[in-house]
Amino acid sequence: MCFLLFTPPLQAAIESYEFESTQMEADYYRLVSELRCLVCQNQNLAGSNADLAKDLRRQTYELLAQGKTPDQVAQYMVDRYGDFVLYRPRLKRDTLLLWFGPFVMLVLVLWLVIRAMRKKQNLVPPNADALERARQLLSDNRD
Amino acid sequence: MRFKLPLAIFILMVGLLAYGLGLDPKKVPSPLIDKPAPAFSLASLHAPQQQISNKDLLGEVWVLNVWASWCVACRAEHEFVTRLAQMELVKVIGLNYKDRSVDAKGWLQQWGDPYSASLMDADGRIGIDWGVYGVPETFIVDKNGLIKYKFIGPINQGTLDSEIVPLLRELLS
């Protein structure tokens, strides 16, 4: 546990790969930062020291070296491990609620707040007698 | 009356959260269910010059059990994998994942070898194709070569009785 606490996550990705182009290097680092390590689920491939993460980094590198596009590499991982590997979920029917749920909630809450405020404005002001009695009571109290 | 709506929302939230707490985040549903089993051609542990491929198993129902000698949970489920193999319903194929063949052989010698065949996936590439992320894992493949079931973690008598054996019988009939 202590070991885990004091291990800086950035040191995890220790393998060094030779990239044929800066584009490939950028693609590689973007992919390993956006793919989830399935063993240690709150880490991405870049930050994980797990054996599987190492293997998947190697796989990512090799697929890119073979000329696969980043999308194809991501699809390769999804085909094997499911949508869960993507830290940035794709927009599709299953993820509509995930993407738009918060906005729906926001609109709903705004509507409730506005409705509550309107209701307040429509309150009938207390009549003069009642106000007078209230003042009386308050000043009585003070004495 | 005025608290009805907030109360309803609160109860709904509690319900959803309670349901969420009951789920196991370690169990990631496999996208491979009902898909063709990923192809492999691997050396057999006991006869390294012999290659075994998924095509050799087409036409029969079989179980793939992913294990390693370094995996503690594999030791725990070994008794039940052995029990499954002894029922002689189907072939139980072992996929020795990221292991050294010396260690794997020693382990099987020590604890018994329930597998019809043991495949060597020394660098874990076939494991990646099968979406393996935590050993042990157990797959069931049907006669058409489709993956019908995946279990992550050690199997036990309960898993055998309630899930694996009934499904195997169904696929065999």
- Three-class secondary structure assignment of chain B: CCCHHHHHHHHHHHHHHHHHHHCCCCCCCCCCCCCECCCCEEEECCCCCCEEEHHHHCCCCEEEEEECCCCHHHHHHHHHHHHHHHCCCCEEEEEEECCCHHHHHHHHHHHCCCCCEEEEECCCHHHHHCCCCCCCEEEEECCCCEEEEEEECCCCHHHHHHHHHHHHHHHHC
| A79: closest chain B residue by CA | B31
Interface test with B, best of A36, A39, A41, A52 (most B CBs within 10 A): A52
Nearest Cβ partner of B133 from A59, A79, A81?
Answer: A81
Q: Closest Cα to residue B69, out of B41, B50, B96?
A: B96
pLDDT band, residue A90 (cuts 50/70/90): confident
C-beta atoms of A39 and B133 within 8 A: yes
Q: Does A41 touch chain B (CB under 8 A)?
A: yes
Q: Does B134 touch chain A (CB under 8 A)?
A: yes
Q: Does A59 touch chain B (CB under 8 A)?
A: yes
- Report CA torsion sign: B21, B25, B27, B28: positive
Kindly state the average pLDDT of the residues B13-26. Answer: 87
What is the rounded CA–CA span in Å between residue A50 and residue A40? 7
Question: Comparing A37 with A8, which gets the higher pLDDT?
Answer: A37
In this predicted structure, the answer to whether residue A4 has a pLDDT above a threshold of 50 is no
In this predicted structure, the answer to whether residue A9 has a pLDDT above a threshold of 70 is no
Give A113: exposed, middle or buried? Use CB within 10 Å, 0-12, 13-18, 19+. Answer: exposed
In this predicted structure, the answer to whether residue A41 has a pLDDT above a threshold of 80 is no
- In this predicted structure, what is the pLDDT of residue A77? 93
Q: Does B124 touch chain A (CB under 8 A)?
A: yes
Nearest Cβ partner of A81 from B28, B38, B125?
Answer: B28
In this predicted structure, the answer to whether residue B79 has a pLDDT above a threshold of 50 is yes
In this predicted structure, the answer to whether residue A122 has a pLDDT above a threshold of 50 is yes
What are the φ/ψ torsions at residue B8 (nearest 5 degrees)? -60, -45
- In this predicted structure, what is the pLDDT of residue B6? 87
Taking only Cα atoms into account, the Rg of chain B, rounded to an integer number of angstroms, comes to 20
pLDDT band, residue B20 (cuts 50/70/90): confident
Give the three-state DSSP class for A143.
coil
pLDDT band, residue A69 (cuts 50/70/90): very high
What are the φ/ψ torsions at residue B152 (nearest 5 degrees)? -105, 130
pLDDT band, residue B3 (cuts 50/70/90): confident
Are B61 and B142 in contact, with CB atoms under 8 Å apart? yes
C-beta atoms of B124 and A79 within 8 A: no
- In this predicted structure, what is the pLDDT of residue B103? 94
Among all chains, which residue has been given the structure tokens 């707490």?
Answer: B21
- In this predicted structure, what is the pLDDT of residue A127? 82
How far does the CA of residue A80 sit from the closest CA of chain B (Å)?
5
- In this predicted structure, what is the pLDDT of residue A141? 66
C-beta atoms of B134 and A80 within 8 A: no
- In this predicted structure, what is the pLDDT of residue A140? 76
Q: Closest Cα to residue A15, out of A64, A63, A55?
A: A55
Q: Which two tokens stand for residue B118?
A: 């043991």
Measure CA of the first residue to CA of the last residue in chain A; give whole Å: 67
In this predicted structure, the answer to whether residue A12 has a pLDDT above a threshold of 60 is no
In this predicted structure, the answer to whether residue A16 has a pLDDT above a threshold of 70 is yes
Residue extents of the structural domains in chain B? 30-172
| pLDDT > 90: percent of chain A | 39
pLDDT in tens, B100-157: 999 999 999 999 999 999 999 998 999 999 999 888 999 999 999 999 999 999 999 9
pLDDT band, residue A13 (cuts 50/70/90): low
In this predicted structure, the answer to whether residue A1 has a pLDDT above a threshold of 60 is no
Measure CA of the first residue to CA of the last residue in chain B; give whole Å: 59
Residues of chain A neighbouring B128 (CB-CB closer than 8 A) = 55-56, 59, 80
pLDDT in tens, B85-103: 999 999 999 999 999 999 9
Residues 16-45 of B with CB under 8 A from A: 25-26, 28-32, 38
Class for the domain spanning B30-172: alpha beta
Query: CA A30 from chain center: how many Å?
Result: 17
Q: Residue length, chain B?
A: 173
The CB density around residue A119, as the number of other CB atoms within 10 Å, is: 9
In this predicted structure, the answer to whether residue A108 has a pLDDT above a threshold of 90 is yes
The rounded mean pLDDT for chain B is 91
pLDDT band, residue A142 (cuts 50/70/90): low
